[in-house]
Amino acid sequence: MSSIEVIGGEQLKGELKIQGSKNAALPIIAATVLNKGATILKNCPKILDVLHMIKILEELGCKTKWEGNTLFVDSSVITSPSVSEESVRKMRSSILYLGALLGRCHEVTIAYPGGCSIGKRPIDYHLNAMAKMNVTEEFLKEGEIIHCSTNEIIGNDIFLEFPSVGATQNVILAAALSKGITRIFNAAREPEVTELCNYLQEAGAKISGKGTAYLQVEGVKELHDVTFTLMPDRIVAGTYLTAIAATYGDAILTDFPAWALDSVIRVLKKTGCRIENFENNVRVYCKKRLQPIELIKTQPYPGFPTDMQSQMMTVLCLADGESTIMEEIFESRYQNVKELRKMGAKIRLEASDNKAILTGVKKLHGAVVTSHDLRGGAALAVAGLAAEGKTIVQGATSIERGYEDICRDLSALGANIRYCSENAS
Ligand code: EPZ
């Protein structure tokens, strides 16, 4: 497990290109098994979660290779439609092979994904939807393993009680090669769901309603080879916005998906940051003390994204007044609070309604802190940039799940940040 050492105090300046999107890459890598041929994915981030999804592709019998950030997949042959327990335990997103393998092979054996530090993260919506599409589900090994099978996936009306990103994606994946039409009501509208639809349409799928809460997928006989360029990662982009804001910097971010970050940009502008768009780039700078935000509630897209909650908490810990955050998506996504308190942050939790009340301080001070999840870890690195002195973020491997190289990127903006050994302090 690696750690990150940050020496705070540098105002971030310069220019940085945003990497490709993790949360678009993962479902699209699963989707490649629907095509008995080749897929070329450009702008694919080389991150642990992507490497993990590729490992599963190879376990399934596919061939892959990298050229820079271009991933080549040959999914002509699937030798065994099963995803190992170890693979699913390591990464919850492996569950996206459920819909993809049912679509390709009409069967799949896959372990039940466990929860993680941010919540239990069940898959009932996924399984209920598959059952409505003529799929039989057997629970093996005391509910640890699921074996699903069908002689034909039949399209149906799917009503999601919550606009779950993963459940929406699994239904799309199962419906792409099905018989008939699947209509998804209360579908997730996240840009990464739309990106999956973009990829599948390029490969020959028939999908309508992209970006809305009502999607329609008409099954086709087969998909064909496709070359696809992934969108930039909106959460990595948002993270770097907060790093520039927290250090009162002035920098340019290129290949920046402003269109997918409207709620985050709106909140940052309310803190007093200036954010100027030009083509695919933004200039962000903050010259005066950050201002508090009365209330931020995390919501499904297009609301404020839960994946930006920890990073925004870091920024508001420095604001001139009291701010309130309500985490509405996951039941335990305040792991950073105890870590930020070690750095001098003033945060009160009202667990009853998942509320964090922040009283801003002028300065944080360095400390040894622990990353509990990918976004929380990134938010602690941002806190270290704004703090006086040295911060060590332990358990930084979790950050590498979603950030190609956070030290490389932030150093390019002048940050004093580097990886160091785990027991550094
Ligand atoms: C996706 O996770 C993202 N992951 C998450 O990003 C993101 O936080 C989340 O969507 C919400 O936007 C990827 O795209 C790989 P959900 P997902 O299904 O699909 C409950 C990151 O940092 N739920 O929309 O797992 C669930 O417990 C990660 O990149 C059920 O109850 O999220 C949660 O409370 C973290 N039953 C809520 O819905 C189900 O069957 C939202 O989950 C499914 C979900």
Residues of the chain whose pLDDT is less than 70? 1, 115, 422-425
Which of the residues are catalytic? 116
Which pLDDT score, from 0 to 100, does residue 326 have?
Answer: 97
The CA distance from 187 to 163, in Å, is 5
Maximum C-alpha span of the chain: 63
Tell the residue nearest (CA) to atom 20 of ligand 1.
121
Within 8 A by CB and 6+ apart from 215, the residues are 168, 172, 183, 184, 187, 197, 207, 208, 209
Task: Give CA–CA dist 361/322, Å, rounded.
Answer: 10
Q: Which residues line ligand 1 (CB under 6 A)?
A: 22-23, 26, 93, 119-126, 162, 164-167, 188, 192, 306-307, 329-330, 374-375, 402
Report the residue count for the chain.
Answer: 425
The structure's pTM equals: 0.97
The dihedral through the CA atoms of 315, 317, 321, 326 has a sign that is positive
Contact 192, 24 (CB under 8 A): yes
Amino acid at 312: M
Cβ atoms of 40 and 228 closer than 8 Å: yes
Which tokens is 307 given? 């994946």
Nearest CA to ligand 1 atom 40: 123
Nearest residue (by CA) to ligand 1, atom 13, is: 23
In this prediction, residue 129 carries a pLDDT of: 97
Of 278, 249, 275, which Cα lies nearest the Cα of 264? 275
Peptide bond into 302 cis (omega under 30): yes
The pLDDT assigned to 2 comes to: 87
Close Cβ partners of 90 (under 8 Å, ≥ 6 residues apart): 52
pLDDT on residue 175:
98
